[in-house]
């Protein structure tokens, strides 16, 4: 099929494009290549895709409607997987307009493109952050999601509501995927696992928020990609669908730190700090619906996934250096 993947130079987008190409699909990948984190990481991901049979990469900001719609029309796109977004909980506190532009305007442009270009199914990235201050674990798709605690979370919940509206009005199918703390090779350098690896490798102390009393549903990127692929092609989905994609394991933050330290062979030095604004103490995915609808079965244990990430990190020192040199001040300790 002809599939558009937005955010193709991003973490999940890159891995998804690789998987779709391996199955013989034609992929048009778009990305704005912004500088939220080191551009070298995005260009290196994208370089892995360029030259592959069936791939075309386009530099394009989804907040620009007319070029986006023209691309979908000209490339005879049949499915859209929308992964492009401004990520990061902390960054949304300092740069709210970036989220309005990318996550709201950009998503509206995607919806309007689907409406006018006859796209029958849109799969898009939501986030576990929509569960906000919920205290009931595990998080289920039927839980209340009316209490976001960050602007990032509010934009992702807004996307779900906008998708519902467009499905109701214009009848094309929308599938929202609530991702839970995705990690792995070629990952995001604003996430806790990368920050911890970088600091421990350099012999610096790591910032451990909420005094280490954090739980996360760490989900390996290959498992996420399997769920995204299934959501693109599954025949058993509702017209408007929301699904959790997580590992169904809520693990203490010290377990992550211990796994990283063990792979690096270095004893970490920890600086315990209070909870950061916009953060939550625990995430945990109920994945029964994804199992039933998609056959989703995450397979990767945290220790194995961290080993794969650190093996990759050690073999790409130039990327690690570029990330450190360009690190944004707000990119500290995101675990979501």
pLDDT digits (tens, 9 = 90+) for 295-322: 999 999 999 999 999 999 999 999 999 9
332 — pLDDT class (breaks 50, 70, 90): very low
As a whole number, mean pLDDT of residues 171-199 equals 97
Q: How far apart are CA 191 and CA 224, in angstroms?
A: 16
The closest alpha carbon to 174, from 112, 237, 111, 240, belongs to: 240
Whether pLDDT at 83 is above 80: yes
As a whole number, mean pLDDT of residues 95-99 equals 95
328 — pLDDT class (breaks 50, 70, 90): low
Note the maximum CA span of the chain. 56
Spell out the long-range contacts of 306-310 with Cβ–Cβ below 8 A and sequence spacing 24 or more: 306/183, 306/193, 306/256, 306/259, 306/260, 306/263, 307/259, 307/263, 308/184, 308/185, 308/220, 309/183, 309/184, 309/185, 309/187, 309/193, 309/194, 309/197, 310/197, 310/260, 310/263, 310/264
Please give the C-alpha separations between residue 250 and each of 138, 180, 276, 330, in angstroms, as whole numbers. Answer: 8, 10, 20, 25
Report the percentage of the chain scoring pLDDT > 70: 97
As a whole number, mean pLDDT of residues 99-127 equals 98
Which pTM was predicted? 0.95
Q: Is 272 in the active site?
A: no
Q: How far apart are CA 121 and CA 56, in angstroms?
A: 21
CB 6 within 8 A of CB 110: yes
Q: Tell me, what's the pLDDT at 316?
A: 97
Among the residue ranges 94-98, 239-243, 278-282, 290-294, the one predicted with the least confidence is: 278-282
Q: How far apart are CA 230 and CA 181, in angstroms?
A: 19
296 token code pair: 């989703």
100 — pLDDT class (breaks 50, 70, 90): very high
Whether pLDDT at 333 is above 60: no
Which residue among 152, 166, 220, 313 is the active-site one?
A: 152
Question: What angle (nearest 5°) sits at the alpha carbon of residue 17, between those of residues 288 and 218?
Answer: 40
Report the percentage of the chain scoring pLDDT > 90: 91
As a whole number, mean pLDDT of residues 132-158 equals 94
Whether pLDDT at 183 is above 60: yes
Q: Tell me, what's the pLDDT at 277?
A: 85
As a whole number, mean pLDDT of residues 32-52 equals 95
As a whole number, mean pLDDT of residues 251-255 equals 96
133 — pLDDT class (breaks 50, 70, 90): confident
């Amino acid at each position: 099929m002809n599939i558009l993947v937005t955010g193709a130079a991003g973490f999940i987008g890159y891995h998804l494009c690789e998987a779709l190409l391996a199955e013989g699909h034609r992929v048009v990948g778009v990305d704005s290549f912004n500088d939220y984190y080191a551009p070298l990481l995005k260009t290196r991901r994208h370089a892995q895709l360029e030259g592959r049979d069936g791939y075309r990469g386009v530099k394009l900001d989804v907040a620009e409607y007319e070029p986006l719609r023209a691309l979908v029309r000209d490339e005879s796109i049949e499915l859209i997987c929308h992964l492009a977004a401004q990520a990061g909980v902390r960054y949304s506190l300092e740069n709210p307009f970036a989220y309005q532009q990318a996550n709201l305007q950009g998503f509206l442009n995607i919806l309007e493109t689907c409406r006018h270009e006859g796209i029958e199914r849109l799969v898009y990235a939501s986030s576990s952050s929509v569960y906000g201050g919920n205290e009931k674990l595990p998080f289920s798709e039927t839980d209340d999601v009316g209490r976001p605690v960050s602007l990032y979370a509010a934009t992702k919940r807004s996307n779900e509501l906008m998708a519902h509206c467009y499905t109701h009005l214009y009848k094309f199918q929308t599938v929202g995927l609530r991702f839970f703390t995705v990690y792995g090779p070629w990952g995001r350098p604003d996430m806790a696992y990368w920050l911890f690896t970088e600091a421990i490798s350099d012999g610096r102390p790591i910032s451990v928020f909420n005094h280490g009393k954090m739980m996360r549903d760490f989900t390996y990127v290959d498992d996420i990609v399997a769920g995204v692929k299934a959501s693109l092609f599954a025949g058993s989905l509702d017209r408007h669908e929301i699904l959790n994609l997580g590992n169904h394991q809520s693990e203490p933050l010290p377990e992550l730190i211990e796994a990283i330290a063990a792979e690096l062979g270095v004893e970490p030095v920890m600086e315990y700090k209070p909870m950061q604004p916009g953060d939550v103490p625990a995430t945990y995915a109920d994945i029964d619906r994804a199992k039933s609808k998609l056959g989703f079965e995450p397979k990767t244990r945290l220790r194995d996934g961290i080993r794969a990430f650190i093996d990759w990190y050690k073999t790409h020192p130039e990327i690690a250096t570029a990330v450190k040199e360009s690190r944004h001040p707000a990119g500290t300790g995101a675990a979501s």
